[in-house]
């Protein structure tokens, strides 16, 4: 699942640049996950498949795929409509192994002012994936034990309104 994210920025058919109609044709309709349930139906909108959150622009292109892994159980939809759960505690060491086996090129993105958090960026052109980790013990010198908080991929290939 994370290897998918490191390779394509998504999970299976759920990836940036895909059309929502194509995805819902395979996985069924998504759950609307707009912040305000009664808000006007304006685009871009947010949808959800399990723990995967999608931002969809007005031309129904999926622009952002976000995976939160800090919740108790992480449920991921599979192509056959079944839902699989993954272990929510994923460490930086785990993710580095995934990057290595997926052949992903990545770089560390640290914030000197924020010791409790850092990110690993994977450039997939035209998709960028940002894996954000939380450091449980800010005194730790080894980042390997930091846990994955979110993985967010964003497509840069689509210019909204171009009709593409
Ligand atoms: Zn668009």
Question: Does 164 fall in a domain?
Answer: no
- What would the two tokens of residue 142 be? 């080894």
Mean pLDDT, residues 91-102: 92
Question: Does 108 fall in a domain?
Answer: yes
Q: 15: CA distance to ligand 1 center in Å? A: 14
What average pLDDT does the structure give for the chain?
84
Q: 1: CA distance to ligand 1 center in Å? A: 26
Render pLDDT for 122-155 as a digit per residue (tens, 0 to 9). 998 889 999 999 887 766 667 888 989 899 999 9
Residue 28 reports pLDDT greater than 50: yes
Strand, helix or coil for residue 99:
helix
Per the structure, the complete domain to which residue 112 belongs is given by 2-155
CB-based contact 152:130 (threshold 8 Å): yes
Q: 63: CA distance to ligand 1 center in Å? A: 8
Could you tell me which of 147, 150, 152, 131 has the C-alpha nearest to residue 93?
147
pTM for this predicted structure: 0.82
Give the count of domains, the chain: 1
pLDDT in the model for residue 88 = 62
Q: 60: CA distance to ligand 1 center in Å? A: 6
Question: Does 131 fall in a domain?
Answer: yes
* CA separation for the pair 101, 98 (Å, rounded): 5
């Amino acid at each position: 699942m994370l290897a998918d994210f490191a390779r394509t920025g998504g999970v299976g058919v759920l990836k940036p640049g895909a059309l929502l109609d194509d995805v819902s044709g395979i996985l069924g309709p998504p759950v609307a996950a707009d912040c305000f349930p009664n808000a006007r139906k304006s685009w871009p909108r947010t949808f959800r498949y399990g723990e995967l959150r999608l931002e969809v622009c007005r031309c129904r292109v999926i622009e952002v795929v976000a995976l939160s892994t800090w919740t108790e159980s992480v449920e991921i939809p599979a192509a056959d409509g079944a839902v699989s759960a993954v272990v929510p505690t994923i460490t930086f060491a785990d993710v580095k192994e995934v990057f290595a086996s997926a052949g992903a090129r990545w770089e560390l993105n640290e914030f000197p002012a924020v010791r409790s958090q850092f990110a690993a960026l994977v450039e997939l052109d035209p998709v960028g994936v940002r894996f954000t980790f939380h450091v449980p013990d800010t005194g730790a010198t080894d980042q390997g034990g930091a846990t994955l908080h979110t993985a967010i991929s964003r497509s840069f290939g689509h210019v909204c309104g171009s009709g593409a």
